Amino acid sequence: MNLNLRNKEQFFHELVQLARSAVSLPQSLEMLSRNARQKTGRCASRIRANLLTSGQVGPAFRAAGFTAGDAAVIEAGEATGKLDVVFAGLEVYYRQLAEARQRIISQSLYPLVILHLGAFLLALPPAIIEGGLKTFLLRSVPLILGFYVLVLAGWLIWRVIRRGLSGSVAAAHSLLAVPVLGGFLSDWTAWKFSGVLSLYVKAGGGLLKAFEIAGSSCENALLRSLSSSAVKEVQAGRGLAEAVRQRSGWPRVLERALEVGEHAGRLDEETERAAEIYKDRTLAKFEAFSRWAPKLLYLVIVLLMGWQAVSMITGVMSSVGAALEP
């Protein structure tokens, strides 16, 4: 059972509180699973069942619908006794995502109400003049349906973009070069990469494994390729900073964080700082989108309502003309 962002925030909040109270993970999952009426309770029950079967923390969380990055850092935290650190980091991450999404939704509700109300009100005069429910539906439904077709098209385009970004280096290069969109995708995936890397290192996991997990979970084929190349360079005897410099394409702040973190022996702190910077940039773009989304909706509404008004006036005039003919 997949949890939404708010459910995940709540789930990790409860786990971190129990972990800080020295309650073991199996005991925590058993306690949370007692509330089977809640999604988090059913999720805890599923993780616990998978954990009892496999004996492995990472696969147990992965089978319950969590991302590979989530599962990997949780596994590292469990192995090093730092589950509270990992759970706290995941709680904050999902809270920030949930708040950003909520802002976009809340600021888009009013235009949606106006759209539906306007479609119904504009359909009333023709329905009264021409008579019948059929006319009302023919006037109102296409307008509303057309809007949701546009929303569906936007959602499908976003899925194609994410698949392309994650699927191939060439597609990632092309998408990241697109004005506005590329900047958002770069900051968003750099946030995910830096966040997972920081959490994994902070949880006591190995550096090379941290790069592998961060690359596989960031949904950016270019970053995944760069991290894989860096791991090979380090395995060949090069330092991390040198390995990173061998390939262009690293987000600038992340590149500097890796170099400074290696030389200072504070890679977890520097990558966490990079994650904070990219988080702030990503959320600022979310905030900008939440301000512009209603304006775009209003533009769509004006166009659709204008078309509906013209159609209504034309229909009314035709009906009046037909009535006045001898």
Helix, strand, coil share of the chain (percent; to 5): 85, 0, 15
CA atoms within 13 A on the CB side of 40: 15
Contact 50, 59 (CB under 8 A): yes
What is the number of residues in the chain? 326
- Kindly state whether residue 252 falls inside one of the protein's structural domains: no
- Kindly state whether residue 188 falls inside one of the protein's structural domains: no
DSSP string, 73-118: HHHHHHHHT-HHHHHHHHHHHHHHHHHHHHHHHHHHHHHHHHHHHH
- Number of compact structural domains in the chain: 1
For tokens 């035709």, what's the residue? 318
- Kindly state whether residue 53 falls inside one of the protein's structural domains: yes
**Predicted local confidence at residue 1, as pLDDT:** 58
Nearest-5° Cα angle at 292, 290 to 296? 120
DSSP string, 164-231: HHHH-HHHHHHHHTSTTHHHHHHHHHHHHHHHHHHHHHHTT--HHHHHHHHHHHSS-HHHHHHHHHHH
The sign of the torsion formed by the CA atoms of 132, 135, 139, 145 equals positive
For the question of whether the overall pTM of this predicted structure is more than 0.85, the answer is: no
Residue segments in the chain with a per-residue pLDDT below the cut of 70? 1, 129-131, 293-294, 297, 300-301, 304-305, 308-309, 311-312, 315-326
Burial code (b: 16+ CB inside 10 Å, e: under 16) for 259-269 equals: bbbbeeeebbb
Contacts of 56 (CB under 8 A, 6+ apart): 75
Q: Residue 246 has what DSSP assignment?
A: T
- Kindly state whether residue 83 falls inside one of the protein's structural domains: yes
**Predicted local confidence at residue 305, as pLDDT:** 65
Range of the domain at 47: 5-91
- Kindly state whether residue 59 falls inside one of the protein's structural domains: yes
Phi, psi of 208 (to 5 degrees): -65, -40
- Tokens found for residue 264: 């200072």
- Kindly state whether residue 85 falls inside one of the protein's structural domains: yes
Distances (CA, A) of 52 to 60, 86, 99, 240: 9, 21, 34, 38
Cα–Cα dist 22/298, whole Å: 52
Q: What digits encode the pLDDT tens for the residues 282-313?
A: 888 877 877 776 677 677 667 766 776 676 67
Angle between helices 83-130 and 68-80 (to 10 degrees): 160
- Kindly state whether residue 261 falls inside one of the protein's structural domains: no
CA atoms within 13 A on the CB side of 200: 26
**Predicted local confidence at residue 146, as pLDDT:** 82
24: left (phi over 0), alpha (psi -120 to 50) or beta: beta
- Kindly state whether residue 45 falls inside one of the protein's structural domains: yes
Contact 76, 204 (CB under 8 A): yes
**Predicted local confidence at residue 304, as pLDDT:** 64
Phi, psi of 236 (to 5 degrees): -80, 0
